[in-house]
A and B are shown apart, each in its own frame.
Chain A
Amino acid sequence: MTNNTYDLVVIGAGPGGEVGVIRAAQLGLKVALVEKNEHLGGTCLNVGCIPTKALLESAKIWEKINHVEDFGFALENPSYSWDKIMSRKEDIVNAQRKGLKFLMKKNKVDVYHGHGRFVSSDNLEVTSPDGSKTSISAKHFLVATGSRVKEIPFAKSNGKTIMTSDDILFIDKVPKSLCVVGGGVVGMEFASLFARFGTSVTVVEMAEQMLPSEDEEVVKELCRLFRKQKIILKTNSKLSKVESKAHSCLVTIEGEDPQEFDLLLSSIGRAPVSDELGLDNVGIFPDKFGFIGVDNHYRTPVKNVFAIGDVIKTPALAHTASAEAIHAVEIIAGQHPHVIDYQTNPGAIYTSPEIASMGMNEQTLRKNGVEYSVAKFPFAPMAKAKIEGSTDGFVKIIFEPKYREILGVHIIGAKATEMISEFVLGKVLETTVDEIGHAIHPHPTISETVMEAAHAAIGGAIHL
C-alpha cells in the first residue's frame, strides 16, 4: 500500500473532472484524478454527448441524401452501412480518449484507475479493478462523479428489447419500431436519430409537454416537425406495463391497448452518483435524490471538499460541469473567480431541427408574473436558409421591455446550437437587444435571423 499526497484530488474524469485537473495543474497544484471506468471522459465522451452527436451527424447526412434531388443530384438506391456509422462513432470517441490521455500526461496529472472512497476528509482509498487498494491524501477534493441513467423499475434494461442510452449507442442494427419512454433531451435526440433511419418511433412523456424545461413555443414547433417526420408523440401518458418477448416487447400505456415494439428506450432521466463514495465518513449527506449540497463556490459543508457537475443540483450539462470545475479549482488555488450566472448557461439539443436556449422561457416568466416582451423571426424568408434547404424554425428573444435586457433566447432550426453563443456572450456582457440588432451580421447567413429578431424587438424586422 503506497501513500501519496496531493494539493487536490478530483474524483471522476468526465467533462467536469478532466477540465478541473488541467486547470489545477495550470495553477501549479499537485493534482491527481481518480476514475473508476477504463476510459477517461465520463458519460459525455463514452456514452453521452460525443457518440450520440456522431450518430446524429450521420443521420443528418442521410436526411440530406434523401432530399438530394432538390439540389440537382440523382442517386440510385442510396444506402448506408450501420456498422460503418457505428465504427465512425467509435473512432471519434477513441481519438478523443487518446487526446485526454495525452492531456493528462502533458499536465503531469497522476491518474488512478479505480473506485474512490473517502476514509476521512483528507484521505481517499482507491480500489483498482484488480482489487488492490491505494491510499491518497489531499488537502482538497473535488467530487465530479456525475450521474447514471435512471431505470424504469418494471422495465429494466436487458440489453436487447429494453435499453437505456448506455446500451442503445452500441445497437447492432436499426430497429423497425421504437418506443421512447421519456421525452427529455436524450429521448428526443434518439427519436430524431432513428426516425431519420426509417424506424417508426413513438415517444411517451408523462408531463404535459415534451422537453418540459424548454420554451413552449419552441417545443410546439419541434413537435409539429416531428409529426411531419411520422414520429408519434404522446404527452400526459404513463407507461403501465412492459412485457419483454424474445425479439420485441409489448408496451401498455395507461388507458390504451398494448402495442408491440422492436425496442423500448428508457430515457426517464439521470441520477447523481453520490453513493459508494463514503461521503458519510466525512460528514457530507446528499439529499434524497442523491444531490450534494454546495454553496456558489461549489464548496460542500466540509470546507476542503468541493462538488460540481451532475452530482450537484445545477443543470446536468457537460459545459456547465466544466465551468463549475474551473471555478471550484480556482477557489481552491486561492483565486477569486466570478460566480457563475446560470441565466447565461446555454442548452443545446441536437434533434432535427436543432434547439438551443439560454435564460428564462416564456411559460416560466408568465408563471412568475415577470413583465416581458417577445420578438421572433422565422428562418423561412432568409435567403441562406433557402439555399441550405433549412427553412424550418425561428429565433425567439424574450426581453425586459424597459431597458430591453435579454431574459431568454430560444432558437429552433439549423445551426441553432452554434448561434446561441452570440447571445451567451451578449448576456454575460449585459448586452440589450439594441446592440444585437446594431451589430452587423454577414450576408447571406442563417445568423442574420438573429439580427432580424433583434430588429423586431426594437421596432421592426426588415425582411418580413
Chain B
Amino acid sequence: MSHSTEVLMPLMGEGVNEATVIRWLKAPGEKVEKDEPLIEVSTDKVDTEIPAPASGYLIACFAEEGSAIEVYQTIAQISEDPKAQVITPSNKADREKPSNAGNAVPSSGGEALQVSSVGMLDRKAKRQSSDRSGGAYGASLQSPLPASFAGAVRTSPLVRKMAKEHGLDLRMVPGSGLHGRITRSDVEEYLQTGGQRIPRDYAMPNQVQEFDPTGPLFTVKTKNEDGKEFLDGVEVRREKMSKIRWLTAEHMLRSVRTSPHVTTTFEMDLHKIDAHRDANKAQFEKEGVRLTFTAYFIQAAIHAIKKFPEVNASIDGGDVLFKEAINIGCAVATKTGLIVPVIKNANDFSLKECAVGLSDIAMRARESKLNPSDIKGGTFSITNPGMYGSIHSQPIINQPQVAIMSIGAIIKRPVVVNQDVTIRPLCQIGLTFDHRIIDGEGGAMFLAEIRNFLESYPA
C-alpha cells in the first residue's frame, strides 16, 4: 500500500481559528512537489499559500473555494500512488491539537509559537502595515504569559518575528550573541541546517550565567604557554559533548526552568503482580513476548491517567491542553545516551499490548533503530532507575509533559499484614509533577490509584 499524506489546515498565528480558501493552485490528479504551493488561503491576519507537505499526486481536495475551514481540518490528500483510494477526511481539530502541543510552547516573547501540521508556514505575508492593531502592536498586548517567562531565552523582536513566521521553537536555537542571545544569523543558520548544527562552542541556549550564583567560579583560565586549562585552580581536560548529551543537557535545563517540580512517593506491595507475572511469564514467552514488571506499571499508568487527565496534559500559557491520546514514553539508557521512545495510543492497551509495545521500542532503542516519530508525541513518561538498584529518585519532567513516574527497585521486605509479619516484594513508586497544574493532593491521589491497581491486581 502506498503512503498517503493528509494535508491539514495549519495554524497561522494565535487566535486564528479558521482560514478561508481563496483558490486551489493544483487540481486533483495533478503531480505536486514537496513545498510547492498547493492552496491559497486568507485569514484575518494574513493571506498566504500553503505548501505541499510531501511530493506525490493530489488525490483529493476536501475544501471548497470560498469556504472557511477550521484549523487542523484535513483539506487534501497527497499520495505517491495516483490511483490511491480517497480517504475519509477526519476532523483532526481535536486529535491534532494535543499531539502538536509539543510545538505550541511559550516563547520568550510571551507569544505562543505554533507549528502547523504541514510543518511550515510560507508567509509571503501581505502584512498591512497600516493595520496597527492586528500587526505590530496586537501580539504583545494579547500575551497570555506572565512576564517571568520572558527571561527563559534571550532573543530579540526581530528573531521572534522570524520564529513566528517559520514556526520555530526558539528554545532549540543556539544563541551566539551577547550572553547567548539568539540573533538573526543564528535563526538563519538554524533554518538552513534544519537544526542539525551543534552550536559553536557548545554555548547553552539558556545560558545559566545570570541566574547561577556560582557563576564566577566557572571561569576556565587558559594558560597560554603550554595550552593547559584550569578550572578554579584544578587542571582540566576539555572534551566536546556528544550531540545527544548536549540535547539532553539543554532539555533538562529548560525543564527545571519551566516547571516547578514536586515529587511524591508511595510504597507499593507487588506480591499480586509478582504472582501474576510468575503465572503468565511462560505463556507470554511462548507467544514471543517478554513480560516485565514495567508492562504492569504502564498498564497502571494508563488506568490512572484516565481518572486524572491533568496528568496527561500540557500547559500553553494560560491554557491547559488535555490530551486525548495516552502516549507513554519510557526512558531507555542506550550506549550513546538517554532516549525516551514512546508507546503510542495506548488508551485501551491490554497487559500484553503494553508488553509488546515496550519490548518493541526498548529493543529498537538499544539497536539504534528508532524512527524520529518514535520519540515524539509522548504525553506521560515512566523511568525505571530501580533496575539499577535505586529505591527512590526525583526525575526531571520530559517537557512539554507535566508528570513522570519513577520506579524504584523491587525489594523483598518484612511487612505487617493483619498483625502478622510476612515477606512482600515492595517497590517505591514516585510521581514527579508540575505544580503549576497538579497539586500535592492530585499527585498523591494519582499514586493511590496506581497502588490500588497494582495491589488489587486480579490473579
Contact = CB atoms under 8 A, between A and B. Distances in A.
Same assembly: yes
A438 B156 contact: no
Determine chain B's interface SS by DSSP, over half rule. Answer: loop
A435 B137 CA distance: 9
Interface in A384-434: 402-405, 428-432, 434
A460 interface: yes
Contacts, number: 50
A388 to B, nearest CB: 30
A430 B158 contact: yes
Contact of A403 (B129, B130, B162): B162
Contacts of B222: 334
B101 to A, nearest CB: 27
Contacts of B157: 429-432, 434-435
A458 interface: yes
A86 B201 CA distance: 54
B50 to A, nearest CB: 19
B221 interface: yes
B136 A438 contact: yes
A457 B132 CA distance: 11
Interface in A418-464: 428-432, 434-435, 437-438, 457-460
Contacts of B406: none
Interface in B127-161: 128-132, 135-137, 140, 156-159, 161
A430 B159 contact: yes
A137 to B, nearest CB: 15
A458 B183 contact: no
A338 interface: yes
A432 B161 contact: yes
Question: Interface range on chain A: under 10, 10 to 19, 20 to 34, or 35 or more?
Answer: 20 to 34
A409 to B, nearest CB: 15
Interface in A134-168: 139
B351 to A, nearest CB: 54
Contacts of A334: 221-222, 224
A338 B158 contact: no
B178 interface: yes
A438 B109 CA distance: 15
Interface in B289-320: none
Nearest to B164: A403
Nearest to A456: B129
B156 A429 contact: yes
Given A437-B136, A458-B135, A431 B178 contact: no
Interface centre among B125, B128, B130, B157 (most CB of A within 10 A): B157
A242 B132 CA distance: 60
Contacts of A336: 201
A403 B136 contact: no
A437 B137 CA distance: 10
A428 B179 CA distance: 13
B184 interface: yes
Nearest to A337: B178
B389 interface: no
A432 B201 CA distance: 28
A102 to B, nearest CB: 29
A332 to B, nearest CB: 10
Contacts of A429: 156-157
B177 interface: yes
A430 B136 contact: no
A402 B161 CA distance: 9
A458 B156 contact: no
Nearest to A338: B178
B369 to A, nearest CB: 40
A338 B207 CA distance: 15
Given A459-B131, A459-B132, A430 B184 contact: yes
Given A334-B221, A334-B222, A338-B178, A458 B132 contact: yes
B184 A460 contact: no
A336 B224 CA distance: 15
Contact of A458 (B129, B140, B162, B201): B129
Contacts of A437: 136
Interface in B365-405: none
Find the residue from B135, B137, B156, B158 having the highest chain A CB count within 10 A. Answer: B158
Contacts of B178: 338, 428
Contacts of B221: 334
A458 B177 CA distance: 27
20 contacts: A139-B224, A334-B224, A338-B177, A402-B125, A428-B178, A430-B158, A430-B159, A430-B183, A430-B184, A431-B156, A432-B157, A434-B136, A434-B137, A435-B157, A438-B136, A458-B129, A459-B128, A459-B131, A459-B132, A460-B130
Question: Which A-B residue pairs are the 7 nearest by beta carbons?
Answer: A430-B156, A434-B136, A430-B158, A459-B130, A403-B161, A338-B178, A459-B129
